[in-house]
Structure 1
């Protein structure tokens, strides 16, 4: 009985944890950091047509579906702060997981993603 209870407790803890380990950053925090000398690397993980329709100034486009193919190019940013965004958070979360699995440790997700950025303009 104790083993079953322990297993169920562990399962509950795992299922209630977020699907990504990355921290988050608000739009206001990002704006402040962008105006500082230590501006983060901003990566837009949406598709090209979405990026071309509008993006955060200075953002690099690396579509989430191809992020594993761009790890060599992103390697130069491995020690930098990185902020990821998309439209809903799903693609940014998947990209954060891929980067963290590749050894990137300073990955954050933009709260509210691109719609929050647009609303704050």
Structure 2
């Protein structure tokens, strides 16, 4: 009888323990602290890049890679931030007519030549929704790398980049040149300059474009 009682008691304990185990939440999956830190730094770097603070994005992505060299996204961001951070130096060595396009030249090209410009607005979706150049597509600077597949296949396509003033598009032009788009330009003064010009001028009458004089740069358009 005593043996039977002990057996029943043990069975009861096992049943209770099994029930308790079934009610326990699953053990949490822990991420190594170093990986969490690297991801946090990468997220901060992405935010800085989206805000056009390329020096900060470069420093943060570099720190993330120091902790986790396998962070592929951080490598790509580091490369892009490096290009953007050195944009001024890069563009200072490039003739201005190879990458800058005045508003009046752009409008003249559209009217006189019907040139098929691939127009990219690198502002935020909110800015784009408030107004943009006809025919433009929105490829926000902070997401530019995600939309590269929307660019023309031809590396010689005429591409016009613009933002509100010109800071973001100046950095975007360096990225496109790096990708091999030799006829990518940025609109001088950005959308603000375009709006000002359109409000103060009438569209030119279609006709032949004057041949550039020796002292007038040929914008290659």
TM-score by length of 1: 0.77
User: Corresponding residue for 1:69?
Assistant: 146
Of structures 1 and 2, the larger Rg is shown by 2
Structure ranking higher on relative contact order (CA contacts 8 Å, 6+ apart): 1
Gaps of 5+ in 2: 1-85, 199-221
Separation (CA, whole Å) in 2 of partners of 1:45 and 1:77? 20
| Residues 26-105 of structure 1 aligned to structure 2 (within 5 Å) | 26-35=102-111, 36-105=113-182
Separation (CA, whole Å) in 2 of partners of 1:32 and 1:46? 24
**Higher helix proportion, which one?**
2
Note if contact 1:25-1:111 (Cα within 8 Å) is conserved in structure 2. Answer: yes
- Give the deviation of 1:73 after TM superposition: 1.8
**Higher strand proportion, which one?**
1
Cα gap change, 1:117 to 1:46, in 2 (>3 Å)? same
Separation (CA, whole Å) in 2 of partners of 1:96 and 1:32? 21
TM-score by length of 2: 0.44
> What is the aligned length?
106
Gaps of 5+ in 1: 1-14
- Give the deviation of 1:56 after TM superposition: 0.7
